Structure 1
Amino acid sequence: MGVVRGCEVPEDLLYNIDNNVWIRKESDGTATVGLTSYACSLAGQIVSYTPKKVGKAVKKDKSCATVESGKWVGPAKTPVSGEVVATNDAVAAKPGLINEDPYGEGWLVKIKPDDWDGETGDLKTGGDALAAFEAKMDSDGFGGC
């Protein structure tokens, strides 16, 4: 587990640094998408989660869910295009799970990717992700999680 300014950054996930989201390819070919701990820290306590419906097509860098906190409402942007195949009922019942466990129980949607290999080339992982988050936090003037 990597840590940048107190924010956990699992090094085995792929990240879209600008959009503060992660994605993980599952053994069944689907991909799980979630917010980073950095995004959770910026947003504050999340109070609402509205995912796109199962069966809905989503485009890379467009919303796969809307999340709302006391100080922010906005889209969680998917790192790849595809079809939403699952939403997180546990998060729908308790949106704060996103803050409590952003890389586990707090995932947002599962997607069947249209072009995994073609669309994940620009995502960061491992040490590259840690360095990119450090640079983003620095430019954002972020003190830490």
Structure 2
Amino acid sequence: MGTVRGCNIPEDLYYNVENNVWVRKEDDGTVTVGMTAYACSLAGEIVSYTPKKVGKDVAKDKSAATVESGKWVGPLKAPVSGAITATNPDVAANPGLINKDPYGNGWVVKLQPSDWDGESGELKTGADALAAFESKMDADGFGGC
């Protein structure tokens, strides 16, 4: 587990650093997507979660879900294009689960990627992700999680 300014950044995941989302490739070819700990810290306690419907095609960098906290409402942008195959009923019942377990039970959507090989090359992982988040946090003036 990597850590940048107190924010957990698991090094085995892929990240769209600019959009503060992570993606994990699953054995069945789907990908699980969620908010980073950094995004959770910026947003505060998540109080609402509205995912796109299962079967909906989502383009890379377009909204796969809308999340809302006491101080922010915004899209969770898909790190790759694909069709939504699942939404998280546990998060629907308890949106704060995103904050409590962003990389585990707080996942937001699952996608069947339409072009993983073509689009995943832009995602960061491992030490590259940690360095990219350090740069982003520095540019954003972020003190830490």
TM-score by length of 1: 1.00
What residue is the counterpart of 1:140 in the other structure? 140
Matched with 1:73 is 73
Q: Deviations over 1:47-76 (max 9, x none)?
A: 000000000000000000000000000000
Q: What does residue range 1-145 of structure 1 map to in structure 2 within 5 Å?
A: 1-145=1-145
- TM-superposed CA distance for 1:77, in Å, is 0.2
Question: TM-score by structure 2 length?
Answer: 1.00
The unaligned stretches of length 5 or more in structure 2 are none
Q: Where has structure 1 moved over 2 Å in runs of 4 or more?
A: none
Shift of 1:80: 0.5
Q: Tell me the C-alpha RMSD between the 2 structures.
A: 0.3
Unaligned runs of at least 5 residues, structure 1: none
Q: How many angstroms apart in 2 are the aligned matches of 1:28 and 1:129?
A: 24
Distance 2:10 2:65 in 1: 22
Deviation at 1:78, TM superposition (A): 0.5
Distance 1:19 1:86 in 2: 21
Distance 2:85 2:17 in 1: 24
Aligned residues: 145
Counting aligned pairs with the same residue, the percent is 77
